[in-house]
Amino acid sequence: MANHPSALKRIRQNEKKRIHNRYYAKTMRNALRDFRNISEKKEAEEKYPKISSFIDKLAKRNIIHKNKAANLKSKLAKQINAL
């Protein structure tokens, strides 16, 4: 266990950030799951900008990697075009 006060504080901060990041990552995964279940092209086109923006925000805050964000957005765009 850490002995220095600064190390104890860092442990508390890391745990808080980990929980925060897990919440947003899980929220993104749920949004992706719901988006993939859409069968109408018009509805998918309406929801794409919002989910794309959400993915970009997570990448900007380093919750997910920027390349993962790009891959996710690309796959969603392909899905829309396939509908």
In the predicted structure, residue 12 carries a pLDDT above the cut 90: yes
In the predicted structure, residue 3 carries a pLDDT above the cut 90: no
Residue 44 burial (C-beta neighbours within 10 Å; 0-12, 13-18, 19+): buried
pLDDT of 55:
96
pLDDT of 33:
95
Domain 5-82: which topology? Methane Monooxygenase Hydroxylase; Chain G, domain 1 (1.20.58)
pLDDT of 1:
72
In the chain, domain spans: 5-82
Residue 80, φ and ψ in degrees, nearest 5: -60, -45
How crowded is residue 41: how many other Cβ atoms within 10 Å of its Cβ? 13
pTM, entire model: 0.81
Q: 51-75: per-residue pLDDT in tens?
A: 999 999 999 999 999 999 999 999 9
